[in-house]
Amino acid sequence: MLSTQIQCVVGIDVAKAAHVVCALEAPTGALKQRALKIPATAEGYAQLGRALQQWGTKDSVLLGLEATGSLWEPLYDTLTQAGYTILLLNPRQTASWATSLGLRAKTDGIDAHTLARGLLAGYARASVLPSEAVQSLRTLTRARRDLVQSQTAALQRLHDDLVPLFPELVGHLPHHASLSDPAILTFLSCYSSAQAIAGANVTELTRTLAEASSKRWGQAEALAVQQLAQRSAASTRAVTARSVVVRTLCFHLLDLRARLADLERALEEALGQDDEAQRLQGVPGIGPQNAATIRAELGDVSRFSRVDQVIAYAGLEPRTHESGRFAGQKRLSKRGPGALRHALYLAALVAARYRPEWRERYRRLLDRGRAKKEALTILSRSLLKVIYHLLRTGASYDPARVFPSERA
């Protein structure tokens, strides 16, 4: 229920360049301010501040805005520092309001009005703001994940573009090196086709390969690559253009590698400053990267009062789909952060392989007819329960207390 001291509710639809504000009187719901667009600048926030002063005192005005990415943060900080009460709303929650109201159109003004109506009806449940440590880890892990995906895509494109230029190269790299090896990328940025390598001076080719590999490779490797290039079945079409693309991708991958190293150093520093992340690394299967992801995506566990709420948040609770005579199978809801489920799955895989208590549990599940993926998903859920307990209590991981009933 809405507090009796609230005389005005304000819904704010957040966007990149401008926000839209709608205000209603409480408790009547009379329109106090039709959709008002304000720029997402200091001047726009000052304009909103003047309007809020006209609509009531700071104690009598309740504001709600959607947690759209990180676009809400500057406005939220400005308004909270000014002394206003703001509810940060989950977009999934506010979308359900629009559905319940039967709205057919969707505009910024309608969205702002819907937020205000939800506040007026007392439907709003404020999202919990992440701590500084969680926000830092979340920012860094998500940026790293994006760069890794870009790296994977660029590497696949490089592999595809090398097929017409030098199809034999990938299978005959020096000492079975990977295409992602910085030495290979540096070498290909200089000699990006079979034609270029076949016609190169051996001395120059050797020097380039030696410098690129920090002298791991020399004349023998240079001659082997050149001989392979001279008998290559490479295409003769668009060689110059394709070579430019290969060189560009090599430089791009080398730069991505450096940027990833920067992020990983920052992540290591952030992990070292967070006690909860340090505690997570004591759980089987959880190394620094997984600890950072789990801590970032799970956030502060104190906001969950029961373990089943954590399971539901992670999207690891089974749900049965039934309708009339149709009885569907149980499937995971997968409503929570996908990165959290992926990190837990990888941790369960490692724990089942290397830790006796988890390996025993995994074998029991397989013996009962569970498929391997299903068994690992069950272990992921068990692992999350252990993590929740450790973070809630501050205890250390104890293998003797994991699955005690099954070993009794």
- What pLDDT does residue 95 have? 80
Which helix or strand (DSSP H or E) is residue 347 part of?
helix 338-354
Percent of the chain with pLDDT over 70: 95
pLDDT tier at 321 (50, 70, 90 boundaries)? low
Is beta strand 318-323 parallel, antiparallel or unpaired with respect to 18-25?
unpaired
Amino acid at 292: A
Q: Assess whether 176 and 263 both reside in one domain.
A: yes
Do 94 and 169 lie in one domain? The reply is no
In a domain, 51, yes or no: yes
Same domain? For 256 and 169 the reply is yes
Residue 324 has pLDDT above 80, yes or no: no
In a domain, 1, yes or no: no
Of residues 100 and 159, more confidence is placed in 159
Q: How is 231-267 classified by DSSP, letter by letter?
A: T-----SSHHHHHHHHHHHHHHHHHHHHHHHHHHHHH
Task: Output the domain CATH number for residue 113.
Answer: 3.30.420.140
Single-letter amino acid, residue 385: K
Helix 73-81, helix 42-55: angle, nearest 10: 50
> Is 180 in contact with 153 (CB distance < 8 Å)?
no
Verify that 92 and 173 share a domain, yes or no: no
Confidence band of 335 (pLDDT split at 50, 70, 90): confident
Alpha carbons 65 and 89: distance in angstroms, whole number: 6
What CATH number has the domain bearing residue 242? 1.10.287.4070
Q: Count of domains in the chain? A: 3
For 184-205, the pLDDT digits (tens) are 999 999 999 999 999 999 999 9
pLDDT at 320: 61
Residue 75 token pair: 């406005």
- What pLDDT does residue 46 have? 96
Looking at residue 18, what is its pLDDT? 95
Q: What range defines the domain where residue 95 resides?
A: 8-121
Tens digits of residue pLDDT in 336-379: 899 999 999 999 999 999 999 999 999 999 999 999 999 999 99
In a domain, 128, yes or no: no
